[in-house]
Amino acid sequence: MELQPSVIFAIEIIGTIAFASSGAMVAVRKKLDLFGIIVLGVITAVGGGMLRDILIGNIPPNMFRNPVYVLAAFLTVLVLFMLFRFWPSLLGSRYMESYERIMNILDAIGLGAFTVIGIDTGVEAGYGNYHFLIIFLGVITGIGGGILRDIMAGETPYVLKKHIYACASIAGACLYAGLLEVSNSDSAMIVSALLVVAIRILASHFRWDLPTV
């Protein structure tokens, strides 16, 4: 099965919108101004890809050479800002539960997509034989933006304390790296991304957490 570039692009945009929304919501709850909301929303959406590109020397990072993802994140944040600015009652309404549920699904899709795209970027750059590196690139693409968001918001990064998030990305990245040895990249990408999405949704639904001391 071969993935069309338009399909991959659509999935990336879905993930970008979900990640930007999560960043914007953190900023809104922190009572940041418009600029702060935009910065947190955009950095959540494209920060992971920026870190990946810097690591492999892909300079300037793709977010600057192909700013369509930055634009998608910016528009998403702007729409949310306008909604909550003019209808602040929405923040405490019953609709927020449905919104959070939908965003959680889209976020899982984005995590899966960005994880495998991060690995694919590393492979395309000639690092396919460095398994640990490409796995790391996949994971940092998936969770890097969220880590930057939380650090900038003065919070302990979400991935270090809540549910199975980073672990879902790691599982998918490891599977993708292994499957690349025995199957074509498109099939490996689909299966691995689906694993990330499944683990993330199940972990959120059943509130799975890693053990603490």
Q: Which long-range contacts (CB under 8 A, 24 or more apart) does 193-198 make?
A: 193/112, 193/113, 193/115, 193/116, 194/112, 195/112, 195/168, 195/171, 196/108, 196/111, 196/112, 196/115, 196/116, 196/142, 196/168, 196/169, 196/171, 196/172, 197/108, 197/109, 197/111, 197/112
Statement: the pTM of the whole predicted model exceeds 0.85: yes
pLDDT in tens, the chain (213 residues): 555 677 788 888 988 999 999 999 999 989 999 999 999 999 999 999 999 999 999 999 999 999 999 999 999 999 999 998 988 887 777 878 888 888 889 899 999 999 999 999 999 999 989 999 999 999 999 999 999 999 999 998 988 877 688 999 999 999 999 998 887 777 888 899 999 999 999 998 888 888 888
Give me the residue label for tokens 């395309």: 124
